[in-house]
């Protein structure tokens, strides 16, 4: 893989973009530009919260226009830099495009604990979680309407990194390894994005009782063996949940070894077909049952939440019950 000129970061609020991008810029000797800092400064100057500025920007194109032109100019300059921006992936072509994600409750906890200015204040965990979600959806809708692009679509990026449990040092090492072509270069070259997922947040699609007959020791020692210990899992994504298409043994080994990140290929997301023309969402609904999630969680000592109810013609059911009752 040819080393790209720049690294651009997008991702969930509270996912650690600032911490990671600052350190990577220092490690690689690059200048860092943060559009988030610019928006916060603009919000304070207007005596608004960050959410209020986002909502205002939906009506006043001059707000985005100024920031967009700044990003276009930087991208056109050819300077090798680190860019922390929710839309830089749209403006930069010669860059490693990194999208950072984290569990919403964890993101809210981090944002609530960090020092905040007058543009961004929350009084409780639930308020932080709700307002972060509202702000993210405001940005997403604005980008769809104004640019015709969806920041939530994983295929916009080269690297997806889940920071729910992984520490900043581990995340930084993985991103630099990907940037320098040392981490799963074939995925980044041939079929991006490369997913670096928290194994404790990935849903099984087979019963663990049936899988145990196929367990062996060939995938043990994952944590000790390093980045190349696991062949990337094959993963589907519903827009909210990641699930295994192929690689249950490898995922189990990673959980047993205490890994916080596992590499994976994206097979399908949302409406894209997984097998037999069945979309990622439909496959997840048909395959994942509450009992399966409970047994998998119990076997690995994790707390994998039951999927939210799926709305069908006959009412709301949990994922998996739709296929069972069809």
DSSP 269: E
**pLDDT, the chain, mean:** 84
Q: Is residue 185 part of a domain?
A: no
**pLDDT of 223:** 46
Q: Which domain holds residue 14?
A: 6-156
| Share above pLDDT 70 across residues of the chain, in percent, rounded to a whole number | 79
Same domain, 30 and 133: yes
Q: Is residue 183 part of a domain?
A: no
- Sequence-separated (6 or more) residues with CB below 8 Å from residue 145: 58
Residue 114: CATH number of its domain: 3.40.50.300
Same domain, 26 and 114: yes
Q: Is residue 181 part of a domain?
A: no
Same domain, 23 and 120: yes
Q: Is residue 233 part of a domain?
A: yes
Is there a contact between 75 and 92 (Cβ–Cβ < 8 Å)?
yes
Q: Which of 156, 177, 207 is the last residue of a domain?
A: 156
Say yes or no to pLDDT of 210 above 90: no
CA nearest to 66, candidates 84, 82, 87? 87
**pLDDT of 51:** 63
Same domain, 297 and 238: yes
Residues 269-319: tens digit of each pLDDT? 999 999 888 999 999 999 999 999 999 999 999 999 998 765 444 455 566
Same domain, 217 and 148: no
Q: What is the dihedral of CA 90, 104, 174, 239, to 10 degrees?
A: -50
Q: Is residue 188 part of a domain?
A: no
Q: Is residue 1 part of a domain?
A: no
Overall domain count for the chain:
2
Residues 155-201: tens digit of each pLDDT? 999 999 999 999 999 999 999 999 999 999 999 999 999 999 999 99
Same domain, 108 and 10: yes
- CA 36/CA 175 separation, integer angstroms: 20
Q: Is residue 193 part of a domain?
A: no
Is the bond preceding 219 in cis, omega lying within 30 degrees of 0? no
Same domain, 152 and 207: no
């Amino acid at each position: 893989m040819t080393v790209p000129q720049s690294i651009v970061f997008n991702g969930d609020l509270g996912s650690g973009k600032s911490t990671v991008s600052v350190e990577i810029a220092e490690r690689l000797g690059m200048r860092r530009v943060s559009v988030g800092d610019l928006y916060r400064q603009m919000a304070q100057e207007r005596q608004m919260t960050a959410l209020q500025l986002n909502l205002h920007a939906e009506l006043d194109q001059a707000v985005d226009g100024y920031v967009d032109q700044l990003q276009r100019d930087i991208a056109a300059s050819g300077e090798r830099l680190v860019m922390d921006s929710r839309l830089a992936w749209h403006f930069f072509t010669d860059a490693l495009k990194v999208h950072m994600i984290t569990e919403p409750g964890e993101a809210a906890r981090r944002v609530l604990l960090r020092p905040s200015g007058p543009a961004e204040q929350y009084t409780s965990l639930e308020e932080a979680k709700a307002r972060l979600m509202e702000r993210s959806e405001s940005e997403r809708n604005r980008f769809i309407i104004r640019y015709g692009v969806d920041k939530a679509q994983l295929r916009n990026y080269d690297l997806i990194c889940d920071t729910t449990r992984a520490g900043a040092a581990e995340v930084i090492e993985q991103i630099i390894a990907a940037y320098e072509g040392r981490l799963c270069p074939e995925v980044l070259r041939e079929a991006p994005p490369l997913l670096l997922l928290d194994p404790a947040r990935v849903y099984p699609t087979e019963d663990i009782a049936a899988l145990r007959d196929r367990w062996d020791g060939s995938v043990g020692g994952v944590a000790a063996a390093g980045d190349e210990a696991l062949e990337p899992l094959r993963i589907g994504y519903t827009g909210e949940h990641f699930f295994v298409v192929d690689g249950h043994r490898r995922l189990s080994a990673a959980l047993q070894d205490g890994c916080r990140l596992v590499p994976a290929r994206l097979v399908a997301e949302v409406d894209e077909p997984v097998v037999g023309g069945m979309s990622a969402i439909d496959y997840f609904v048909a395959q994942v049952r509450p009992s399966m999630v409970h047994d998998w969680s119990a076997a690995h000592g994790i707390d994998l939440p039951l999927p939210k109810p799926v709305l069908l013609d006959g009412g709301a059911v949990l994922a998996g019950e739709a296929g069972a009752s069809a």
